[in-house]
Amino acid sequence: DGGITQSPKYLFRKEGQNVTLSCEQNLNHDAMYWYRQDPGQGLRLIYYSQIVNDFQKGDIAEGYSVSREKKESFPLTVTSAQKNPTAFYLCASSIVASKSTDTQYFGPGTRLTVL
């Protein structure tokens, strides 16, 4: 089945630790995205990647880092510099990022809690 997988589903982090959230897609999409969702709010863009080995900051990139070494993988690292990391993180992909027509498809999300 084609789709987007995220792991883990739940993640607990102690303050001061870096953690990495996994996102994998087998849809052969060029573009991938990371969003953050806080309770009662919409999604906000953290980082996006249009192609392998390339990525750009979104609206709230501070305290986060990404890599795109393979087309199907776009891991997100939440660093200790992120002051309020507790949130629900959603990964998405689209065929390309350069067309406004392209629909973004989402993974099941990772809920991160800082203890």
Partner 1 sequence: AQKVTQAQTEISVVEKEDVTLDCVYETRDTTYYLFWYKQPPSGELVFLIRRNSFDEQNEISGRYSWNFQKSTSSFNFTITASQVVDSAVYFCALSEAMDSSYKLIFGSGTRLLVRP
The footprint of partner 1 (CB under 8 A) covers: 31, 33, 40-45, 48, 50, 56, 58, 88, 90, 92, 97-109, 111
Mention every residue, 6+ apart, whose C-beta is less than 8 A from residue 41: none
Q: Choose between 85 and 109: whose C-beta lies nearer to partner 1.
A: 109
* Comparison of 17 and 62: residue with beta carbon closer to partner 1: 62
Cβ 102 to partner 1, closest distance in Å? 7
Lookup: tokens for 80: 């200790």
Instruction: State the first-to-last Cα distance of the chain, in angstroms, to the nearest integer.
Output: 35
- Rounded to whole angstroms, the Cα distance separating 54 from 100 reads 19
Q: b/e map of 58-73 (b: 16 or more CB within 10 Å)?
A: beebeebbbebeebbe
Provide the minimum distance between the beta carbon of 60 and partner 1 in the complex, in angstroms, as a whole number: 12
Closer of 15 and 101 to partner 1 (Cβ): 101
In the complex, what is the shortest distance from the CB of residue 42 to partner 1, in angstroms, rounded to a whole number?
A: 3
Q: How far is the CB of 45 from partner 1 (least distance, A)?
A: 5
Token couple for 13: 């982090």
Q: Given the complex with partner 1, which of 37 and 80 has the nearer CB atom? A: 37
